[in-house]
């Protein structure tokens, strides 16, 4: 079984749980941007955007560089391999459970049909 760094996965999912942070990642996927530019695009204060960028930076999704008075953000080196593996594990688990449920439903349908035929013959 694959072992996951729970802190790392938790941090990533926490960072990705916010729609603004996901939007920031989409924006940075198109081009690097300053915190001021990001704050303007998302209609929020500089302080609010700094907090969002800090969460993304802690998770490794964003890096920042300060040149003079401008802090520029760009996508960080971290990928989502561990998170994708975690999701895949649960996808397999749920697929197996739904397959088992489909089998039960099919058996119930067959039983219902055969019970219906027996009632028709008796009548």
The tokens of 59 are what? 């998770």
Cβ contacts of 71 within 8 Å, gap of 6 or more = 34, 35, 64, 65
Residue 67's SS3 state is strand
Q: What does pTM read for this prediction?
A: 0.70
Beta bridge partners, 62, equal 75
The low-confidence residues of the chain, meaning pLDDT below 70, are 1-5, 117-123
Residue 111 is predicted with a pLDDT of 87
Ordered by start, the domain boundaries in the chain are 6-75, 80-123
The domain 6-75 having CATH identifier 3.40.50.1820: the answer here is no
Residue 116 is predicted with a pLDDT of 72
Residue 1 is predicted with a pLDDT of 44
């Amino acid at each position: 079984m694959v072992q996951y760094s729970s802190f790392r996965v938790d941090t990533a999912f926490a960072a990705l749980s916010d729609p603004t942070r996901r939007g920031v990642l989409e924006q940075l996927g198109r081009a690097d941007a300053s915190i001021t530019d990001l704050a303007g695009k998302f209609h929020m204060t500089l302080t609010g955007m700094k907090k969002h960028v800090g969460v993304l930076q802690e998770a490794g999704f964003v890096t920042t560089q300060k040149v003079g008075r401008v802090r520029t953000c760009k996508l960080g080196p971290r990928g989502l391999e561990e998170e994708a593996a975690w999701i895949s594990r649960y996808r397999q688990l749920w697929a197996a459970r739904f397959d088992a449920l489909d089998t039960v439903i099919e058996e119930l349908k067959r039983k219902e049909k055969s019970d219906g035929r027996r009632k028709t013959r008796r009548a």
